[in-house]
Amino acid sequence: MSRHGLKEVVHVVVRGRVQGVGFRYHAETVARRHGVAGWVRNLPTGEVEILARLDDARKAGFLAEIRQGPPAARVTGMEVGPAPPGMTPPAAGFSVRF
């Protein structure tokens, strides 16, 4: 448990113009600013996937910045839910996966 609350693992799929616009690096910067552990990667479907471990107090701010995206992106949808079975983010650090 952190001083902000329990850590939660969330799975995020972001839709729209989110590939080829620096979205993964934006997500990495946002995650580090919010103290979020996990990873981000492009999906072959044109979406971006994020698996994140974060505490309750930081969840809303992190997701709001992800939804905003970098200047060249246009987010048209975002699904947030629990991590699928077998998907576990690291306990610390955030990375861009290829």
Q: How far apart are the first and last CA of the chain?
A: 31
User: Which residue of the set 15, 24, 33, 58 is catalytic?
Assistant: 24
The reply to whether 58 belongs to the active site is no
Helix axes 56-68, 23-34, angle to 10 degrees: 160
The reply to whether 42 belongs to the active site is yes
CA–CA distance, 84 with 49 (Å, rounded to integer): 12
User: Which residue of the set 15, 41, 42, 67 is catalytic?
Assistant: 42
User: Where are the extended beta strands (E) located within the chain?
Assistant: 7-17, 37-42, 48-55, 74-82, 94-97
Catalytic residues: 24, 42
